[in-house]
Structure 1
């Protein structure tokens, strides 16, 4: 499931970068290139999750990726940036920002980096 989500997100980043470029903080250099390469990273991570010997590295990479894009999500929320003329309410931004640690954990869990909180009893 996570691989499909990241695959779809990567394709969207590459095919329709406008909204992602719009929420990229001003301090990020070359936002168009960054959005393109984040799409490539998502696709590579999704593929990596499907290959057992790459799964751990992909999980770590996607967790770091999710951490690195958090500033864009925060920028989107704080500056109320419209995407396609539409502004999103805090009912979207609040949960989205709070779920970012869960997304990071999910990548680590799927990658086999952690088994918390599902540790097997000995």
Structure 2
């Protein structure tokens, strides 16, 4: 639940700040990107402290080295969060975080189906809904960055790959 609260709260604050300051040109996109970065900084942090044991236990039994996977996903979340804040890395970060959310979804399903005495927000329908919100935010940032770069006429290898014109 904390990641959702972080995403929403930071996005709202960032949106208001953008409106008050009159910048940037796309305040909603900036707000979602900022909220997503804050959320992934938080979730990356808990991969190393507080909830590490719970996250290791969430890894489905068919995957190897649960501790290593939790460490790697935590580092990926931090890298993606920082990348969202760096204009040149934004597209790559948004794409990577979108992929990471999709890849980590089976662990969320696993814990929702096998966990005992879960709070309501960890039950499968709510967990799936939250994951869909996180994925929608990441895709919003990804698509927004592709459109922004297209409008500016920027040419970069990562943009060409997203468009499917690499080659």
Q: TM-score, normalised by structure 1?
A: 0.81
Aligned counterpart, 1:103: 134
- In our comparison, the structure showing a higher alpha carbon Rg is 2
SS for the counterpart of 2:48 is helix
Q: Please identify which structure carries the higher helix content.
A: 2
Pick 1 or 2: higher relative contact order, CA cutoff 8 A, min separation 6.
1
Aligned counterpart, 1:47: 82
Aligned counterpart, 2:53: 18
- Counterparts of 1:1-122 in structure 2, within 5 Å, are 1-16=35-50, 17-81=52-116, 87-93=117-123, 94-111=125-142, 112-113=144-145
Q: Distance in 1 between matches of 2:78 and 2:121?
A: 29
Q: Distance in 1 between matches of 2:127 and 2:47?
A: 18
Q: For structure 1, which runs of at least 5 residues remain unmatched after alignment?
A: 82-86, 116-122
Change in Cα spacing, 1:91 to 1:15, as seen in structure 2 (3 Å) is closer
Q: For structure 2, which runs of at least 5 residues remain unmatched after alignment?
A: 1-34, 148-167
User: Alignment length, in residue pairs?
Assistant: 110
